[in-house]
Structures are given as structure tokens and as C-alpha cells.
A and B are shown apart, each in its own frame.
Chain A
Amino acid sequence: MLRLFPKSYRERFREPMAQTFHDLLRERANQGRGLIGFTLRIFVETFAAIITERVAVISLRNKNLVRIAVGTALFLGIPLVLTLQGDGVDGQGWHWTPFDFVWAFVVIFGTGATYELISRKGGTTAYRAAVAVALVGSFLIVWINAAAGIIGEPGGVNLMYFGVLAVGIVGARIARLQPQGMARALFAMAAAQMGVLIIALVLASAGVIQQPSNVVRIFILNAVFATLFCVSALLFRRAR
């Protein structure tokens, strides 16, 4: 029955609870009193505690997700005001289309929700910081790619950067979010990040795609993302 408690609760209190159950049973037996009514009472009380702890975990998580959703909506009030004030062309500058708002909400809320769901797995400050840094890097890749493209215009060769994110997602799945495995996944993401640049330059030199206009700027941008992923990896290594 102890297995029905939430995982973190179970890991912390399974042994002490089991010992207390045995102590109570032994006390009852030593007093020569019946065990059936006692066992039934303990069963009901423990079941109520299981429900209480489960609801607490769910409501805390839901409360945080609601906070993230509200925060995202409030943040998007800034481009909303700019869009309503300006006379610009739809989809250009700060004149967002409804699709832009939906997309921005999904990306920002998705990043926040992912942090909320993953960061609790580790429990240490280093783990939470590592998750935050990795998600910041991933968010910026998606945002900058959608807005202006990292290599040339949005789309085209920039779609390879989604492969960098895929490396992270698959790596996190294989690692089961354990710190050491996550460190390896983030190092792989950093390597993939620079790999995209190398592939793009090779394709450009072969004439498959147009030569990027500012290679130094693109290199620096990729190096910043790769550095973020390496920092995240090192933080995961420190997390236990």
C-alpha cells in the first residue's frame, strides 16, 4: 500500500512508515488486543493519507502551471499593446498576427511547463539550474530561428537546428532525466549545435545552399548556444 504514495514521499518515508506499522502491530499483539479492527482502521487512515498526498502533488503542479500560463499571457501583453498601437504591416516588426500570439504563447508556456515538470525530478539547485540553462538555450534557438533565422532567412538549412533539439529530447529520454545521462545529452546537443554550422558551411561551399553573408556572426551565435549547453551539462554533472 505504501507504493501508492507519490514517488518523492515514498522514497523519503517508506522505511520509517513501515517500521511504525510494525511497531504498532507489535504493540497491539503484546497487549493481546484484536488486530482486524486495528488493521482496518490503519488501512482507511493510510488510504486517506495517500489521497491527500496525491492531491497535494497534483494541485501544486497545476497551480504552478496556471501561474506559468498567466505569466505568459501577461508577458504577451507587451507585444499586444505594441501591435494595437502601431500601424505596421501584419507579421512585420512588432505588428503580430493572431497566429504569432498563439505560437509565442505555445513556445513560452511550453518552455515554462517543461521546466516545471522536469526540474522537480532532480531536487538539487544544480539540477534545476542545469534544466533552466538548457531550456533557455533551446528556447532561444526556436525563437531566433522563427524570427530571423540563424543561418540566412528562416526555414531552409535552419530546420537542422530542430535536430539539435531532437538530440536533447532523445538523450533526456534515454537518460531518464538522471543527472549523469543528462550531462551526456547536453554535451551531445552542444556538438550537434556546432555540427549544424559545419554542415551548412560544407553545403554552401558545395553550392547546395547560398553562402551565408556573415559567417563570423553565425559562428559566434552558434558558439553561444553550444556554450549554454556545455554549461548545462557541467551543472548536471554537479547535480547528484
Chain B
Amino acid sequence: MAKSKPHTPLTPAVLHILLALATEERHGYGIMKQVESDSQSKTKMGPGTLYGSISRMIEAGLIRESDKKIDPEMDDERRVYYKITGLGQTTLAAELQRYRDIIALAKQKRLSPNAFSYGQ
């Protein structure tokens, strides 16, 4: 059953999947490739991790299965697509705001990577 309010912080896998689905619905392989691209290959997930995360995200109401359709860039097999829900968008926005707040705090404390100094 879907929960009604955003629950942050998110795991890296969940965050990247939400980012991958933020602009368009995708199938599993498409999500994997988008995550790899978004993270500049720093985050790679296999099918086991991907679908485990998808399963939990569907249960949490963050994403849902969309219609089965053919990917014109691949073969002619019909594939299950996944789509972000309203709760998923809200959760993603809350998580990104959390990151912005943390970065603002780090800058305030002069902890940004290019200006690391103690008490200066």
C-alpha cells in the first residue's frame, strides 16, 4: 500500500531510479543505462539490484508500472515500462532540497572541496 508522504533520505539506487524516471517513463534496461549515464558510470546496478529497488519503490508508491510497449530503438519485444508517481515526484523534490540544504550548510562552514580550510 502506498505511503502518503515523502520518506527521505533515499538510498542511492532509489534516488538514481527516480532521477532516471523524472523526465520520461522507461523500461528496466533503459533505467540501468540512464543511471549509468547520469552517474558517469559511478553507479552501476545489475538486474537483481534494479528490480529489487523497483519492487520496493512500487510498494512504497514512488513509481508504478505503465503500459507494455515496444522500444523502437531495440527489438520488437513488448516491455514493461515504469513511470514516476506524484508521490515519487514529491519525494524526489524533497530529497533534492535536502541535498541543497546540506550543500548550503557545507558552504556556510567553508567545507566545499575547493576551499577546504580550518577556521579561516
Residues of A with Cβ closer than 8 Å to B? 9, 12-13, 15-17, 19-21, 23-24, 41-42, 45-50, 52-53
Contact = CB atoms under 8 A, between A and B. Distances in A.
Contacts, number: 55
Contacts of B52: 49, 52-53
Contact of B46 (A13, A16, A46, A50): A46
Given A16-B28, A23-B74, 12 more contacts: A13-B54, A13-B55, A15-B80, A17-B28, A17-B51, A19-B79, A23-B29, A42-B46, A46-B46, A47-B48, A48-B48, A50-B48
Contact of B51 (A23, A41, A47, A49): A49
A166 to B, nearest CB: 35
Contacts of B113: none
Contacts of A15: 80
The list of the 10 closest CB pairs from A to B, nearest first, reads A49-B48, A45-B46, A23-B29, A46-B48, A20-B28, A20-B47, A45-B48, A13-B51, A16-B80, A20-B29
B48 A21 contact: no
Secondary structure dominating the interface of A: helix
B70 to A, nearest CB: 12
A13 B47 CA distance: 10
Secondary structure dominating the interface of B: helix
Interface string B22-43: 0000011100100000000000
A140 B110 CA distance: 69
Interface in B71-88: 74, 77, 79-80
Contacts of A45: 46-49
Contacts of A19: 27-29, 77, 79
A16 B55 CA distance: 12
